[in-house]
Amino acid sequence: MSEEMMKAMHQAISDVMNKMFFLSLQINEKALALSEWFSGKHPLVGATINFTGPSSGYSYLLIPAEVAREITANFLGVSEKAISEKQEKDTVKEALNMIAGRMFSQFDAKGAFQTGIPELINESGLVAGQLDSFNNGAIFIETEHSHMAAGIVMKQVDRL
């Protein structure tokens, strides 16, 4: 992931989580391993969204279930008691949809990239043992009471 893309991703995460989910965030520059980052915070909810264009890959978002509940309640403007698991999962997908969209809006003014439809990550993909394969390029996010993570995985690298 280029530095420009990373910067745009940081800004997008902040903009979206602030504006639509009312979360104040801080990026943690020191964390290194997703398994450690989410230790004690399982179960997680996660989503991915593909993109194509000059390069292709996918973007992902990982959130502890309790934070997913919180952001869903904030998003819908209702109490946490009133929301369903279905709504939580849908909200996490939509959060990533907005983050990826916002990131490419900033990074890709010409509209060369195309994002797909967000999908949930299977539970088996979210266990601690699986997470560390995404450590490279992961963005470690602190919320006021918990952690999140997001990132971009490139499938192809353009060679000049």
Partner 1 sequence: MSFNVLIVDDSSSMRAVIKRTIKLSGFDVGEYFEAEDGREALELLSNKWVDIVLSDINMPNMTGMELIAEMKKNELLSSIPVILVTTEGSEKKIQESIRLGANKYIKKPFFPEEIIKALRSLMGEEVCDVRGDDESNASGDF
Partner 2 sequence: MDLVVGVGDMKVSNNPEAVIITYALGSCIGVAIYDPFVKVGGVLHYMLPESSLDPVKAGNNPFMFGDTGIPLLFKESYKLGAVKNRLKVIVLGGAQILDQGGLFNIGNRNHTVLRKMFWKNNITTDFEDVGGTVNRTLKLGIKEGEAIMRISGNELRKIKWI
Note the residue count of the chain. Answer: 160
Does the footprint of partner 2 cover residue 105 (CB under 8 A)? no
- Using the rule CB under 8 A, give the single segment among 57-65, 103-111, 126-134, 141-149 that binds partner 1: 103-111
- Alpha-carbon distance values, 41 to 35, 37, 45, 74 (Å): 10, 8, 11, 20
Does the footprint of partner 1 cover residue 117 (CB under 8 A)? yes
Least Cβ distance, residue 110 to partner 1 (angstroms): 6
Does the footprint of partner 2 cover residue 39 (CB under 8 A)? no
Taking the C-alpha atoms of residue 89 and residue 83, their distance in angstroms, rounded to an integer, is 11
36 Cβ neighbours under 8 A, 6+ residues apart: none
> Is 46 in contact with 127 (CB distance < 8 Å)?
no
Best CA proximity match to 63, nearest among 116, 142, 132, 1: 142
Does the footprint of partner 1 cover residue 16 (CB under 8 A)? yes
Least Cβ distance, residue 33 to partner 1 (angstroms): 30
Choose between 48 and 72: whose C-beta lies nearer to partner 1. 72
Choose between 26 and 136: whose C-beta lies nearer to partner 2. 26
Taking the C-alpha atoms of residue 121 and residue 50, their distance in angstroms, rounded to an integer, is 12
Q: How far is CA 45 from the centre of its chain?
A: 10
Count of residues interacting with partner 1 (CB under 8 A) = 33
Binding map of partner 2 across residues 11-30, x = CB under 8 A, - = no contact: -------xx--xxxxx----
Does the footprint of partner 2 cover residue 80 (CB under 8 A)? no
Contact of residue 126 among partner 2, partner 1, none (CB under 5-8 Å per partner type): none
Residue with tokens 């900033």, as numbered in its chain: 106
Does the footprint of partner 1 cover residue 129 (CB under 8 A)? no
